[in-house]
Amino acid sequence: MPSTVFDPPERFVAGTVGPPGGRTFFLQARGEGRVVSVSIEKVQVSVLAERVDDMLDTHAEGTATEPYGEGDNEPLDTPIDDDFRVDTLSLAWDPERLVVVIECHDQDPEEVGEGALQTLRVVLTPEAARAFARRCGKVVAAGRPSCPFCGQPLDPTGHICPRANGYRR
C-alpha cells in the first residue's frame, strides 16, 4: 500500500480497540468500497485534534465549521487490521478548495526514498474535519480517570502515587 487517497472519504474517524489502559488507537478511512486502518499513538490523536481545531479557527473563517448532526459515534469498521503504524502526520489547509488535508506516513518522508513510503491521505471539508476533531477528543478522554493528586492515570486497582509518598490510592 504505497499511497491511498480518500478525497473525500465516506467516513474518517479515530477509534480504539481494547480496555482503558490497554487500548490501541486507530485512524480509519472508508470510501469506494475499501477500508484503511492505521494504528497511531494516543498523543498523536490528541495533538491532531487540537491542530485541526486550531487550523479551522484560523483558516476556515467564513465557512461553516460546525459538524452536521451529532457526528459519527459508531464503532470502527471490522475487521480491524492496521495497514501500517503511523510515524509521521502532516496537516494542511488547501486555500483554493477550502479543505483540510491530513496525511499519515509510516516513516518520515524526508528520510525515505521514492516508493518505500506508505501514506494515507484524507481530504476533509471543514465540517467533516471539525466532527473528526470532536470525536478524537471524546476517544482520548474515554480512557482511565486521572489521579486527583498527581494526574497520572488510575488503574482499576489504584496506583502508587508519587504525591502520596508511594501509598496506593
Average pLDDT score over residue span 108-116: 70
User: CA angle, 163 as apex, 162 and 168 as ends, to 5°?
Assistant: 65
Return the residue matching grid coordinates 496537516.
91
> Residue 158 pLDDT > 80, yes or no?
no
Q: What is the pLDDT of residues 47-104, one digit of tens each?
A: 999 999 999 999 977 665 555 556 788 999 999 999 999 999 999 999 999 999 999 9
> Residue 164 pLDDT > 80, yes or no?
no
Q: What is the pLDDT of residues 32-45, one digit of tens each?
A: 999 999 999 999 99
135 part of a folded domain:
yes
155 part of a folded domain:
no
156 part of a folded domain:
no
Average pLDDT of the chain is 87
Its domain, for residue 113, covers 3-144
Q: What is the pLDDT of residues 118-145, one digit of tens each?
A: 999 999 999 999 999 999 999 998 887 8
161 part of a folded domain:
no
149 part of a folded domain:
no
Query: Order of strands across the sheet with 34-40?
Result: 11-17, 24-31, 34-40, 82-85
153 part of a folded domain:
no
43 part of a folded domain:
yes
168 part of a folded domain:
no
Instruction: Kindly report the length of the chain.
Output: 169
Q: At 119, which CATH number?
A: 3.30.2450
Number of domains in the chain: 1
